[in-house]
Amino acid sequence: MSDVAANREGDTPENEESQLNAKRAKCDVTDGQGDHGEGEPACKRNILSGFVTSQILNDSAREKKIFVHGKLDNQEAVVIMEKTPIREENLAEIFSGSRLELDMRNDIYSTYRLQAPAHLSEIKTTVVCPATENHVKKYRRQETFLVEEREDDYGSITLPYVEKLCLGVQWVYNILEKKAESERVVYEDQDPEVGFILLPDFKWDQKQTDDLYLIAIVNKRNIKSLRDLTSEHLPLLQNIFQKGQEVILERYKLPASKLRVYLHYQPSYYHLHVHFTRLSYDAPGCGVERAHLLADVIQNLQFKCDYYRSATLYFPLSAEHGLLNKFKEAGRL
Protein backbone atom coordinates (compact mmCIF):
# COMPACT_ATOMS: atom_id res chain seq x y z
CA MET A 1 0.00 0.00 0.00
CA SER A 2 1.26 3.47 -0.79
CA ASP A 3 2.33 5.57 2.17
CA VAL A 4 -0.12 8.29 1.25
CA ALA A 5 -3.52 8.62 -0.32
CA ALA A 6 -5.25 11.96 -0.74
CA ASN A 7 -7.90 11.64 -3.34
CA ARG A 8 -11.13 9.98 -4.38
CA GLU A 9 -9.45 6.87 -5.75
CA GLY A 10 -7.32 6.19 -2.75
CA ASP A 11 -10.02 6.71 -0.11
CA THR A 12 -11.61 4.08 2.10
CA PRO A 13 -15.32 3.35 1.60
CA GLU A 14 -16.59 4.62 4.93
CA ASN A 15 -15.10 8.03 4.20
CA GLU A 16 -16.80 8.59 0.85
CA GLU A 17 -18.23 11.86 2.15
CA SER A 18 -14.72 13.15 2.71
CA GLN A 19 -13.93 12.56 -0.96
CA LEU A 20 -16.64 15.02 -1.94
CA ASN A 21 -15.54 17.53 0.69
CA ALA A 22 -11.94 17.26 -0.44
CA LYS A 23 -13.00 17.61 -4.05
CA ARG A 24 -15.02 20.74 -3.33
CA ALA A 25 -12.32 22.26 -1.17
CA LYS A 26 -9.70 21.51 -3.78
CA CYS A 27 -11.70 23.33 -6.42
CA ASP A 28 -12.06 26.27 -4.04
CA VAL A 29 -8.37 26.45 -3.18
CA THR A 30 -6.68 25.60 -6.46
CA ASP A 31 -9.14 26.50 -9.20
CA GLY A 32 -10.11 29.94 -8.00
CA GLN A 33 -13.60 29.76 -9.42
CA GLY A 34 -16.60 31.35 -7.82
CA ASP A 35 -16.92 33.93 -5.06
CA HIS A 36 -16.19 32.94 -1.47
CA GLY A 37 -17.15 35.95 0.52
CA GLU A 38 -15.79 39.45 1.02
CA GLY A 39 -16.15 40.10 -2.70
CA GLU A 40 -12.92 38.27 -3.47
CA PRO A 41 -12.47 35.19 -5.68
CA ALA A 42 -10.96 32.08 -4.13
CA CYS A 43 -7.78 32.42 -6.20
CA LYS A 44 -7.04 35.77 -4.47
CA ARG A 45 -7.89 34.78 -0.89
CA ASN A 46 -5.66 32.79 1.42
CA ILE A 47 -8.22 30.74 3.31
CA LEU A 48 -5.35 28.98 5.12
CA SER A 49 -3.96 32.12 6.76
CA GLY A 50 -5.76 31.25 9.99
CA PHE A 51 -5.02 27.52 9.94
CA VAL A 52 -3.66 26.25 13.27
CA THR A 53 -1.70 22.99 13.11
CA SER A 54 -2.51 20.22 15.59
CA GLN A 55 -0.51 17.27 14.24
CA ILE A 56 1.19 15.81 11.20
CA LEU A 57 -0.89 12.82 10.14
CA ASN A 58 1.41 11.52 7.44
CA ASP A 59 4.23 12.64 5.19
CA SER A 60 6.22 11.21 2.33
CA ALA A 61 9.60 12.62 1.38
CA ARG A 62 9.59 10.45 -1.75
CA GLU A 63 6.20 11.65 -2.97
CA LYS A 64 6.70 15.23 -1.66
CA LYS A 65 3.38 15.16 0.25
CA ILE A 66 2.34 16.08 3.76
CA PHE A 67 -1.02 15.62 5.55
CA VAL A 68 -1.72 18.09 8.35
CA HIS A 69 -4.54 18.07 10.93
CA GLY A 70 -5.58 21.31 12.55
CA LYS A 71 -8.29 23.96 12.84
CA LEU A 72 -9.59 26.43 10.29
CA ASP A 73 -12.05 29.07 11.49
CA ASN A 74 -12.50 27.01 14.67
CA GLN A 75 -13.46 23.93 12.66
CA GLU A 76 -11.50 20.69 12.43
CA ALA A 77 -9.67 20.50 9.11
CA VAL A 78 -7.18 18.39 7.19
CA VAL A 79 -4.82 20.02 4.71
CA ILE A 80 -2.94 17.97 2.11
CA MET A 81 0.02 19.65 0.43
CA GLU A 82 1.97 18.27 -2.52
CA LYS A 83 4.83 19.70 -4.56
CA THR A 84 3.86 20.06 -8.21
CA PRO A 85 5.97 18.30 -10.88
CA ILE A 86 8.82 20.07 -12.65
CA ARG A 87 7.78 20.43 -16.29
CA GLU A 88 10.10 20.46 -19.26
CA GLU A 89 8.73 23.70 -20.69
CA ASN A 90 9.73 25.53 -17.48
CA LEU A 91 13.33 24.32 -17.31
CA ALA A 92 14.87 27.26 -19.14
CA GLU A 93 13.16 29.75 -16.82
CA ILE A 94 14.14 27.74 -13.75
CA PHE A 95 17.78 27.61 -14.82
CA SER A 96 17.97 31.30 -15.68
CA GLY A 97 15.65 32.85 -13.09
CA SER A 98 16.42 30.97 -9.87
CA ARG A 99 18.73 31.81 -7.00
CA LEU A 100 21.29 29.17 -5.98
CA GLU A 101 22.93 28.70 -2.58
CA LEU A 102 25.83 26.26 -2.43
CA ASP A 103 25.50 23.47 0.13
CA MET A 104 28.51 21.29 -0.71
CA ARG A 105 31.16 20.79 -3.36
CA ASN A 106 33.40 17.72 -3.69
CA ASP A 107 35.43 17.12 -6.85
CA ILE A 108 32.97 17.05 -9.77
CA TYR A 109 29.88 16.99 -7.47
CA SER A 110 28.08 19.95 -5.95
CA THR A 111 24.67 20.39 -4.31
CA TYR A 112 22.62 23.57 -4.02
CA ARG A 113 19.43 24.95 -2.56
CA LEU A 114 17.54 26.35 -5.53
CA GLN A 115 14.86 29.00 -5.03
CA ALA A 116 12.76 29.05 -8.18
CA PRO A 117 10.62 32.00 -9.32
CA ALA A 118 7.48 32.23 -7.21
CA HIS A 119 5.10 31.27 -10.02
CA LEU A 120 7.06 28.05 -10.55
CA SER A 121 6.99 27.07 -6.86
CA GLU A 122 3.35 26.07 -6.56
CA ILE A 123 2.17 23.58 -3.94
CA LYS A 124 -1.01 21.72 -4.84
CA THR A 125 -3.28 21.99 -1.79
CA THR A 126 -6.46 20.12 -0.81
CA VAL A 127 -8.58 21.19 2.17
CA VAL A 128 -11.13 18.99 3.98
CA CYS A 129 -13.23 21.22 6.27
CA PRO A 130 -15.10 20.55 8.47
CA ALA A 131 -13.22 17.30 9.02
CA THR A 132 -14.53 14.44 11.16
CA GLU A 133 -12.56 11.88 13.13
CA ASN A 134 -13.03 9.52 10.19
CA HIS A 135 -11.21 11.95 7.93
CA VAL A 136 -8.34 12.18 10.40
CA LYS A 137 -8.16 8.37 10.60
CA LYS A 138 -8.13 8.07 6.83
CA TYR A 139 -5.14 10.33 6.31
CA ARG A 140 -3.13 9.13 9.30
CA ARG A 141 -0.35 6.67 8.51
CA GLN A 142 -1.60 3.20 9.46
CA GLU A 143 -0.48 -0.39 9.40
CA THR A 144 -2.04 -2.36 6.53
CA PHE A 145 -3.38 -5.92 6.44
CA LEU A 146 -4.10 -8.19 3.48
CA VAL A 147 -7.61 -9.63 3.67
CA GLU A 148 -8.77 -12.86 2.03
CA GLU A 149 -12.41 -12.57 0.98
CA ARG A 150 -14.14 -15.78 -0.08
CA GLU A 151 -17.48 -15.90 -1.85
CA ASP A 152 -19.36 -16.47 1.41
CA ASP A 153 -17.34 -13.72 3.14
CA TYR A 154 -18.62 -11.22 0.62
CA GLY A 155 -22.23 -12.17 1.30
CA SER A 156 -21.94 -12.42 5.10
CA ILE A 157 -19.35 -9.72 5.93
CA THR A 158 -18.54 -7.26 3.15
CA LEU A 159 -21.93 -6.69 1.53
CA PRO A 160 -23.83 -6.11 4.82
CA TYR A 161 -21.08 -3.71 5.90
CA VAL A 162 -21.31 -1.74 2.66
CA GLU A 163 -25.12 -1.66 2.71
CA LYS A 164 -25.25 -0.64 6.38
CA LEU A 165 -23.06 2.35 5.66
CA CYS A 166 -25.65 3.59 3.15
CA LEU A 167 -22.80 5.03 1.15
CA GLY A 168 -23.85 8.05 -0.88
CA VAL A 169 -22.46 8.48 -4.37
CA GLN A 170 -24.48 11.57 -5.20
CA TRP A 171 -21.34 13.31 -6.39
CA VAL A 172 -20.99 10.53 -9.01
CA TYR A 173 -24.59 11.02 -10.10
CA ASN A 174 -23.95 14.77 -10.32
CA ILE A 175 -21.20 14.05 -12.84
CA LEU A 176 -23.39 11.67 -14.85
CA GLU A 177 -26.26 14.18 -14.84
CA LYS A 178 -23.99 17.13 -15.82
CA LYS A 179 -24.66 18.91 -12.55
CA ALA A 180 -20.98 19.03 -11.67
CA GLU A 181 -17.59 18.81 -13.39
CA SER A 182 -19.13 18.92 -16.86
CA GLU A 183 -16.28 21.13 -18.05
CA ARG A 184 -13.80 18.38 -17.13
CA VAL A 185 -15.37 15.63 -19.21
CA VAL A 186 -12.97 14.30 -21.84
CA TYR A 187 -15.39 11.89 -23.52
CA GLU A 188 -18.96 10.69 -23.09
CA ASP A 189 -20.84 7.70 -24.43
CA GLN A 190 -24.51 8.27 -23.57
CA ASP A 191 -25.68 4.70 -24.15
CA PRO A 192 -27.57 3.67 -20.97
CA GLU A 193 -26.24 0.09 -21.06
CA VAL A 194 -22.63 0.32 -22.26
CA GLY A 195 -21.97 4.06 -21.95
CA PHE A 196 -19.64 5.92 -19.63
CA ILE A 197 -18.08 9.30 -18.89
CA LEU A 198 -14.29 9.72 -19.04
CA LEU A 199 -12.70 12.53 -17.04
CA PRO A 200 -9.37 13.32 -15.36
CA ASP A 201 -8.78 12.10 -11.83
CA PHE A 202 -7.86 14.80 -9.32
CA LYS A 203 -4.43 13.21 -8.88
CA TRP A 204 -3.56 14.48 -12.35
CA ASP A 205 -3.06 18.21 -12.98
CA GLN A 206 -3.40 17.68 -16.78
CA LYS A 207 -0.25 19.70 -17.47
CA GLN A 208 1.80 16.74 -18.68
CA THR A 209 1.12 13.14 -19.68
CA ASP A 210 3.87 11.63 -17.53
CA ASP A 211 1.34 11.05 -14.74
CA LEU A 212 -1.79 10.76 -16.88
CA TYR A 213 -4.76 9.54 -14.84
CA LEU A 214 -8.36 9.34 -16.05
CA ILE A 215 -11.47 7.67 -14.67
CA ALA A 216 -14.28 6.07 -16.68
CA ILE A 217 -17.56 6.18 -14.71
CA VAL A 218 -20.25 3.86 -16.06
CA ASN A 219 -23.78 5.13 -16.72
CA LYS A 220 -25.45 2.07 -15.16
CA ARG A 221 -26.17 2.60 -11.49
CA ASN A 222 -26.67 -0.96 -10.30
CA ILE A 223 -23.06 -2.20 -10.49
CA LYS A 224 -21.26 -1.55 -7.22
CA SER A 225 -17.93 -3.25 -7.82
CA LEU A 226 -15.96 -6.06 -9.39
CA ARG A 227 -18.05 -8.55 -7.38
CA ASP A 228 -21.22 -7.63 -9.33
CA LEU A 229 -19.74 -8.24 -12.77
CA THR A 230 -20.87 -11.18 -14.91
CA SER A 231 -20.57 -12.06 -18.59
CA GLU A 232 -23.64 -9.92 -19.32
CA HIS A 233 -21.45 -6.90 -18.58
CA LEU A 234 -18.83 -7.83 -21.19
CA PRO A 235 -20.18 -5.38 -23.82
CA LEU A 236 -19.89 -2.57 -21.24
CA LEU A 237 -16.34 -3.49 -20.22
CA GLN A 238 -15.18 -3.99 -23.81
CA ASN A 239 -16.69 -0.65 -24.81
CA ILE A 240 -14.84 1.17 -22.01
CA PHE A 241 -11.60 -0.65 -22.83
CA GLN A 242 -11.73 0.10 -26.56
CA LYS A 243 -13.13 3.63 -26.60
CA GLY A 244 -11.11 4.77 -23.60
CA GLN A 245 -7.89 3.78 -25.31
CA GLU A 246 -8.98 5.35 -28.59
CA VAL A 247 -9.79 8.67 -26.93
CA ILE A 248 -6.49 8.75 -25.04
CA LEU A 249 -4.56 7.99 -28.23
CA GLU A 250 -6.35 10.74 -30.14
CA ARG A 251 -6.20 13.38 -27.42
CA TYR A 252 -2.98 12.61 -25.54
CA LYS A 253 -1.02 10.65 -28.19
CA LEU A 254 -0.50 7.67 -25.88
CA PRO A 255 -1.01 4.21 -27.43
CA ALA A 256 -2.61 1.30 -25.59
CA SER A 257 0.84 -0.21 -24.99
CA LYS A 258 1.66 2.71 -22.67
CA LEU A 259 -1.52 2.51 -20.60
CA ARG A 260 -2.53 0.64 -17.45
CA VAL A 261 -6.31 0.06 -17.43
CA TYR A 262 -7.72 -1.48 -14.25
CA LEU A 263 -10.37 -1.69 -11.53
CA HIS A 264 -9.87 -1.50 -7.79
CA TYR A 265 -11.12 -4.02 -5.27
CA GLN A 266 -12.06 -2.90 -2.73
CA PRO A 267 -13.07 0.26 -4.62
CA SER A 268 -12.97 3.65 -2.97
CA TYR A 269 -16.64 4.21 -3.82
CA TYR A 270 -19.31 1.72 -4.83
CA HIS A 271 -20.25 2.76 -8.35
CA LEU A 272 -18.34 0.89 -11.03
CA HIS A 273 -15.45 2.89 -12.48
CA VAL A 274 -12.29 2.07 -14.42
CA HIS A 275 -8.84 3.65 -14.05
CA PHE A 276 -6.67 4.69 -17.00
CA THR A 277 -3.09 5.62 -16.05
CA ARG A 278 0.18 5.89 -17.88
CA LEU A 279 2.09 2.64 -17.47
CA SER A 280 5.28 4.41 -16.36
CA TYR A 281 3.40 6.31 -13.62
CA ASP A 282 3.44 4.60 -10.23
CA ALA A 283 -0.13 5.57 -9.44
CA PRO A 284 -1.44 5.09 -5.88
CA GLY A 285 -3.39 1.84 -5.63
CA CYS A 286 -1.96 0.25 -8.78
CA GLY A 287 -0.28 -2.61 -6.88
CA VAL A 288 -1.26 -6.24 -7.42
CA GLU A 289 -3.00 -6.44 -4.04
CA ARG A 290 -5.71 -4.03 -5.17
CA ALA A 291 -5.67 -3.47 -8.94
CA HIS A 292 -7.25 -5.87 -11.46
CA LEU A 293 -6.34 -5.27 -15.11
CA LEU A 294 -9.46 -4.73 -17.20
CA ALA A 295 -8.09 -7.05 -19.89
CA ASP A 296 -7.82 -9.83 -17.28
CA VAL A 297 -11.31 -9.10 -15.97
CA ILE A 298 -12.76 -9.41 -19.47
CA GLN A 299 -10.87 -12.64 -20.11
CA ASN A 300 -11.95 -14.16 -16.78
CA LEU A 301 -15.61 -13.37 -17.46
CA GLN A 302 -15.32 -14.91 -20.92
CA PHE A 303 -13.91 -18.03 -19.30
CA LYS A 304 -16.52 -18.20 -16.52
CA CYS A 305 -19.68 -16.07 -16.57
CA ASP A 306 -19.78 -15.46 -12.79
CA TYR A 307 -16.05 -15.58 -12.15
CA TYR A 308 -15.93 -12.63 -9.72
CA ARG A 309 -19.04 -13.66 -7.81
CA SER A 310 -17.45 -16.97 -6.83
CA ALA A 311 -13.73 -16.12 -6.74
CA THR A 312 -11.63 -15.63 -3.61
CA LEU A 313 -10.30 -12.07 -3.75
CA TYR A 314 -7.57 -10.35 -1.78
CA PHE A 315 -7.28 -6.67 -0.86
CA PRO A 316 -5.49 -4.40 1.63
CA LEU A 317 -7.24 -2.65 4.53
CA SER A 318 -5.79 -0.18 7.01
CA ALA A 319 -5.73 -0.98 10.72
CA GLU A 320 -8.61 1.36 11.59
CA HIS A 321 -10.83 0.39 8.65
CA GLY A 322 -14.30 -0.67 9.78
CA LEU A 323 -14.41 -3.58 7.36
CA LEU A 324 -11.18 -4.97 8.80
CA ASN A 325 -12.85 -5.10 12.22
CA LYS A 326 -15.78 -7.03 10.71
CA PHE A 327 -13.38 -9.64 9.32
CA LYS A 328 -11.69 -9.88 12.72
CA GLU A 329 -15.02 -10.32 14.48
CA ALA A 330 -15.89 -13.11 12.05
CA GLY A 331 -12.61 -14.86 12.82
CA ARG A 332 -11.35 -14.37 9.28
CA LEU A 333 -8.19 -12.48 10.23
Report the C-alpha gap between 185 and 175 in whole angstroms.
Answer: 9
58, β-bridge pairs: 67
288-306 burial, b at 16+ Cβ within 10 Å, e below that, comes to eebbbebeebbeebeeeee
Residue 309, classified by CB atoms within 10 Å of its CB into exposed (0-12), middle (13-18) or buried (19+), is middle
From the candidates 233, 273, 275, 321, which is the catalytic residue? 273
Active-site residue, 233 included: no
Q: Give the residue numbers annotated as catalytic, written as ranges.
A: 273
